[in-house]
Chain A
Amino acid sequence: MMAFNRRDFLKIAGLSAAVGLGGQTAWELLLPGHLDAAEMPAASGLTAKRWGMALDVKKFTPAVRQACIGVCNQSHNVPKIDSKQGLKWIWEAGYEAAFPDLEAEYVEDEIKEMPFLVMCNHCDNPPCVRVCPTKATFKRGDGIVMMDMHRCIGCRFCMAACPYGSRSFNFHDPRKFLPDPAPNKDYPTRTKGVVEKCTFCTERLAVGKLPYCVEASQGAMLFGDMSDAGSAPRKALRTRYSIRRNAALGTNPQVYYLI
Chain B
Amino acid sequence: MLQDKKQEIRKFMMMLAVVNLAVFAVCYRGIVRSYNTTMLALSYRYGFTSRSLIGTIYHLVDAVLPIDMINYDAAVGFALAVTGLFFVVMMIFFYQCLKSCSEEDLKNSEYLILILSVSLVSTFSFPYNFFRVDICMIMMSLLAVICIIKDKAVWLCVPLSVLGVMFHQGYVFMYFNLILVLLLYRALSLWNRDKKRAVYYGGVFLASFLLASALFLWFEFFSRSDGALYFDSIQKEAEKLSYQGIYHSTLLYHEVLGIDLASTEAEYFAVNHNQIIVFTVVCLPMIFVAVRFFVNIYRRAEGFWEKAKYLMVAVGAVTILPNFILKIDYGRWIMAVVVYYMGIVLALLAMGDPIVKGEVQRQAGSLQKKPGLVFYLMAVILLIPYLDVNISPFVRHLASMVNRNILHWY
- Tell whether A and B belong to one assembly: no
Binding site for B on A (CB under 8 A): none
